[in-house]
Amino acid sequence: MTKHSILIADKLGAAGLDLLEDLKDIDADVRIGLEKGELLEIIDTYDALIVRSATKVDADVIAAGSRLAVVGRAGVGVDNIDVAAATRKGIVVMNTPQANSIATAEQTMGLMLAASRHTARAHVSVATGDWSRSEFTGIELAGRTLGIIGFGRIGREVARRARGFQMEVVAYDPYVSEQVARDQAVTLVELDELLAKSDVVSLHCALSPATRHLLDEAALGKLKHGAIVVNAARGDLVDEEALAVALASGHVLAAGIDVFSTEPPAPDNPLVGHPGVVHTPHLGASTHEAQRDVAVQVVEQVVDAVRGDGIRNSVNFPFEMDAEMKPWLELAHAMGRIQFAMAPERIDRIEIEARGDAIEDSIRAVATGTLAGLLAGFLTDSVNLVNAPALAAEHGIAVAEAHGIGSRDYPNMISCRVAWDGGDRTMSGVVFENREGRIVQVSHYHLDAEPRGVILLMLSKDMPGVIGEVGTLLGNHRVNIAEWRLGRDKEGGQALSFINLDSPPGDHVLEELADVPAVVKAMVVEL
Amino acid sequence: MLETSPTTRVRWPEFAHVVFDCDSTLSTIEGIDVLAEGLGLEAEVTALTDAAMAGEVDLGDIYGARLEMLRPTEQAVAGLRAAYKRNVVPHAGAVIAALRELGTKVYVVSGGLVEPVAEFAVHLGVDPANVRGVQARYNELSGEWWRPGQAHENEFAGFEAGALTRSNGKPEVIRDLLAKSCGLTMLVGDGASDLQAADTVDLFVGFGGVAHRERVATGAPVYIRANTLAPVLPLAAGPGGRDRLTSPEALRTFERGIELVERGDVLFQEDDKREQLRAALASGETQR
């Protein structure tokens, strides 16, 4: 049994640690509060590292982690991890975005209720001996319209809860389909319409250059007079100055704020202590349940990754990978290797096709696998699925999705065409029910070759006696043939042979092969 | 085609299927023109579109040319969803909702790119299974495709040529769509490709509310020249449908439709057809 070692460098929920204890193939060490020097010293013995936000996984740690394949962040933000350095080195970085959905949705509802009923100020007033009731008259959520900006996991959980409060729910999300919204009984609208219609606006989108200050002065101006704003997503989604002005004028009635542009907020942050604001110190994910789920999820993901069983929620892996994909990835990798070996010149372009229900949604996986195989042919750096696409781009290899390049007709098939200055070659492969890959087409040759082990690729004239002559030659050198697959263009034309060998033939064997008159070209690929 | 009732009783049939065109029929925009605007190629593309819609050139000859000229990214095409929704033809949603209330099957058949058309159709309450359009292909390996969680601009990589990318292809698509259905079919559309499908359906209603095309106006048995789809409801539902409508919005839309017929905003190629509809609505008779 292959053992995998995992270092847990930050405090992790007990449920996650319990899970690790039961796994026989995992050695997990919990070392919390390591100094950087200590971490650098021990990291090279681990396959994976699990952190929260305290441990800084910088370029030095990445460089020192010679065996490191996975860094798992229990939580969402990966600011404490040098993702670029990890990617360059082929290390998968993953986080746990799902685990806090409910916690954040519930925090959102709490802020919404607190903002609409002045709960925070009312609480303070009682605590300081007052009993003023009339100034804290609030509004009801029932019958009002909630506008959700960003209809992802958290947005949908908020929508479900708001419906329970008898609110009308509209949502803005340019990446969500009408059908998804309809299934959730939510109406998709444009941003301007959402702002104009909503009594409460709640933000649930990611922060990006496009969404920074999504709620700025102009957007806030489009809100209904007396609307409520809730932000439990990211502080920079809202222009805090503009929101403070809108609150002061009464245009915005109240705001529930869990996140700030800088955290903790600067002393002069205009929202802090504002009477119209109820605020909390970024507590969205801070529930015992969410912390437990985060721990379990990060452990499950990291264990799957080191075992090679799948990669989920990676922030730097080019696709979501599950075990079903494995044979296709291996096939794509082999095709990349063979394409590189057969190419007479530097490959500068590669086109990828993925046909059929099993594979057509996985074009990026196929492309990544093919590129990794191709680059492994000439790069001495370690190439893997994490860094292959970026390395290919660095080496000037253009990649594109293609349609209809594969000429054979299988229900599920992948094809790749590589091009170099003055030529190109197309290759297609399939994975059978038994999960074994086969190469079924190389240029115009149709065959059924197993891309495994040592392969002698031979182009020869199609004439009697060639197989015997080559077989005898290999036999004389004690090289055993496991499989011999052959395709020819036409009778008396040329034939392409895929010969699986039990051991690699030496260069002298290849030289002798080249001297056989019927042999046009011969080369060896070791997969 | 509708047969005039041989008896003296005036009747108007209730249609079981209503097929709508999308661009310039359900929405005031032509999707391809909006894509062109975004790229500053408006004049070139509009000229080609108009020529095809007017029936001067074959759509098959220019369909690919237009898209090749634009090569819209997947994201630009997705942006059409919003453009369609912002530019709904008046009463489109109300008519579709009322037809669904009656159990009438509603379809959208468009020569536009299917993804935004289907989104728009669902928005209007049409079952996505009843939408046909042209499937575009995109290069999923565009730009820095390997970075997860980032919006990539997937480049255009061609489209599936088929019946809808030819001028005379709509009849074929409508026949396929309704192959196993029974009941009368109405088609509502603005373009020459819709007119060409007139013989495939029981009644073709030309729609000139957005774009008036002379060939369609003169060739269509019924032609709506007002900028609203409200007349489609009385035309498709007849008096029998009216009796079963209950929602106030549907009834208002129905009445609005009749008003437009009365006002002469709905042209009938044969005068007696107009009289037939008016009389049927007045007497409440329907042909089932």
Top pLDDT among A353 and B277 is at A353
Please say if the pLDDT value at position A88 is more than 60. yes
What is the predicted pLDDT for the residue at B10?
61
CA distance B38 to chain A (A): 17
| Owning domain of residue B244 | 12-287
pLDDT band at B151; cut points 50, 70, 90: low
Nearest CA in chain A to B137: A403
Separation of alpha carbons A354 and A370, rounded Å: 12
The span from the CA of B286 to the CA of B288, in Å, is 6
Closest CA–CA distance from residue B165 to any residue of chain A (Å): 19
> B143 CA to chain A: closest CA distance, Å?
9
Which of B86, B141, B158 is nearest residue A352 as measured by Cβ atoms?
A: B141
Selected for mutation to probe chain B from A311, A315, A383, A401 (highest B CB count within 10 Å) is A401
State the pLDDT at residue B6. 47
CA distance A474 to A407: 33
Taking domain A4-98+290-316, whether its CATH number is 2.40.110.10 is answered by no
Task: Over range A350-359, report the average pLDDT.
Answer: 94
Q: Which residues of A touch B157 (CB under 8 A)?
A: 400-401, 403
The model's confidence at residue A27, banded by pLDDT at 50, 70 and 90, is: very high
**Cβ neighbours of A393 in B, within 8 Å:** 144
For chain A, what is the largest distance between any 2 Cα atoms, rounded to a whole number of angstroms? 106
Pairing of strands A494-501, A481-488: antiparallel
Q: Is A185 on the interface with B (CB under 8 A)?
A: no
A359 contact residues in B (CB cutoff 8 A): none
The count of structural domains within chain B is: 1
* Domain annotation covers residue B4: no
**Gap between the Cα atoms of B173 and B176, Å rounded:** 5
Helices (H), A169-239: 178-183, 191-197, 217-221
Question: Mean pLDDT of all residues in chain A?
Answer: 94
Contact B82 A190 (CB under 8 A): yes
Q: Report pLDDT for B9.
A: 54
- Chain A residues with beta carbon closer than 8 angstroms to that of B144: 390, 393
What burial class does residue B164 get, using C-beta atoms within 10 Å of its C-beta: 0-12 exposed, 13-18 middle, 19+ buried? buried
pLDDT in tens, A356-397: 999 999 999 999 999 999 999 888 778 999 999 999 999 999
Task: Tell me the shortest Cα–Cα distance from A161 to chain B, in angstroms.
Answer: 23
CA nearest to A429, candidates A405, A448, A456: A448
Residue type, A502: D
Asked if residue B2 is part of any domain, the answer here is: no
Element (H or E) spanning A230, and its range?
Answer: strand A227-231
In CATH, the number for domain A318-451 is: 3.30.1330.90
Q: Compute the mean pLDDT over every residue in chain B, rounded to the nearest whole number.
A: 89
Q: Determine, yes or no, domain membership for B49.
A: yes
Residues of B within 8 A of A188 (CB-CB) are 123
Each residue's pLDDT tens digit, A459-502: 999 999 999 999 999 999 999 999 999 998 888 899 999 999 99
Tokens representing A93?
């970085």
Ramachandran angles phi, psi of B83, nearest 5°: -65, -40
ipTM of this complex prediction, to 2 decimal places: 0.77
The CA distance from B240 to the nearest CA of chain A, in Å, is: 31
Answer whether residue B66 is part of any domain. Answer: yes
Name the phi and psi angles at A429, rounded to 5: -145, 160
From the list B123, B141, B144, the residue facing A178 with the nearest CB is: B123
Question: In angstroms, rounded to a whole number, what is the distance separating the alpha carbons of residues B197 and B21?
Answer: 11
User: Is the pLDDT assigned to residue B288 strictly greater than 50?
Assistant: no
Where residue A321 falls among pLDDT bands split at 50, 70, 90?
A: confident
Buried b (16+ CB within 10 A) or exposed e, A458-497: bbbebeeebbeebeebbeeeebeeeebbbbbeeeeebbbb
Asked if the C-beta of B128 comes within 8 angstroms of chain A's C-beta atoms, the answer is: yes
Q: Do B122 and A399 touch (CB under 8 A)?
A: no
A88 to each of A7, A62, A384, A502, B142, how far by Cα in Å? 21, 10, 10, 35, 20
For residue B29, tell me if it sits in a domain.
Answer: yes
The reply to whether B123 touches chain A by the CB within 8 Å rule is yes
Contact B201, B63 (CB under 8 A): no
What kind of architecture, by CATH, is found in domain A101-279?
A: 3-Layer(aba) Sandwich (3.40)
* pLDDT tens for each residue of A35-62: 999 999 999 999 999 999 889 999 999 9
Per-residue pLDDT band at B5 (split at 50, 70, 90) = very low
Residue B285 has pLDDT above 70, yes or no: no
Yes or no, beta carbons of A177 and B119 under 8 Å apart? yes
> Could you tell me which CATH number the domain at A452-527 has?
3.30.70.260
Tell me whether domains A4-98+290-316 and A101-279 share a fold: yes
Which residues in chain A have their CB less than 8 angstroms from residue B142's CB?
400
Q: Is the bond into A264 cis (omega within 30 degrees of 0)?
A: yes
- CATH number, domain with residue B131: 3.40.50.1000
Residue ranges covered by each domain of chain A:
4-98+290-316, 101-279, 318-451, 452-527
Q: Is residue B25 part of a domain?
A: yes
Task: Tell me the mean pLDDT in the region A141-168.
Answer: 96
Which pLDDT band, with edges at 50, 70 and 90, does B8 fall under?
Answer: very low
